[in-house]
A = this chain, B = another copy of it.
Amino acid sequence: MTHSDVPRKRTRIQAQNEARIIRAAMDVFSANGYRGATVDQIAGSAGMSKANVLYYFNKKQDIYTAVLEQTLGIWLDPLDELNPDGDPIEELWKYALQKLRFSQQEPLASRLFANEILQGAPIIRPFLENELKNLVMSKCQIIQQWIDHGKLAPVSPLHLLFFIWSSTQHYADFSPQINALTQESEDELFADAEKTLKLLLTRGLKP
């Protein structure tokens, strides 16, 4: 340590390996939950030794936190786009459709969240109580105004969001059950889901 003890800059190898570990950890955590995942599995899936994984992330929980944080943004972004000046039903359907697409394209992220919340949200509780809550409250005001202006059926805005979240995430989180009950291909499945959800939402929300 000749010139400084400022935080040393991130090596290319560092960035590369941390990304590899996080990608592998997403697979393992989303499939097995926090307790069910082992550092050895993550290392194997990332193609390196357990000791090396723990060289980049000191503790197992640090890996878990990193994986969660990396996907938190994806949660907020689509909701943030809800446009108060657009057509209410169109805006809400656009949001629901985005969530449904997300369930199809990123099922691992959805299952990671589901696992975390089922275990009581020990890590992301602050996120839920702050960032998410603030965003949700502001968006609920928009929805409430739509209702007050007679542009939307008089639903509870918060529970409307719950309905959108649950019915879309269901396709990622409960896929084993869904696959046991249908022979549709994945594309057909999501096409039918989209059609039915659109019908329920657009008709149900009409003022």
Question: A residues near B, CB below 8 A?
Answer: 31-36, 111, 114-115, 117-121, 125, 128-129, 132-133, 136, 153-156, 158-160, 162-163, 165-167, 169-171, 173-174, 176-178, 180-182, 192-193, 195-197, 199-201, 203-206
What's the nearest-Cβ distance from chain B to residue A90, in Å? Answer: 16
Q: Is the CB of B166 within 8 A of A170?
A: yes
Q: Is the CB of A205 within 8 A of B196?
A: no
Q: Find A196's partner among B33, B120, B155, B171 (CB 8 Å cutoff).
A: B155
Q: Is the CB of B197 within 8 A of A163?
A: yes
> Given A156-B196, A163-B197, 19 more contacts at CB 8 Å?
A33-B36, A33-B119, A111-B118, A114-B173, A117-B174, A117-B176, A117-B177, A118-B174, A121-B180, A153-B203, A155-B200, A158-B181, A160-B196, A163-B200, A165-B170, A165-B174, A166-B169, A200-B205, A204-B204
Q: Find A154's partner among B159, B165, B173, B199 (CB 8 Å cutoff).
A: B199
Q: Is the CB of A128 within 8 A of B35?
A: no
Q: Is the CB of B159 within 8 A of A119?
A: no
Q: Is the CB of A133 within 8 A of B199?
A: no
Alpha-carbon distance A128/B181, docked complex (angstroms): 7
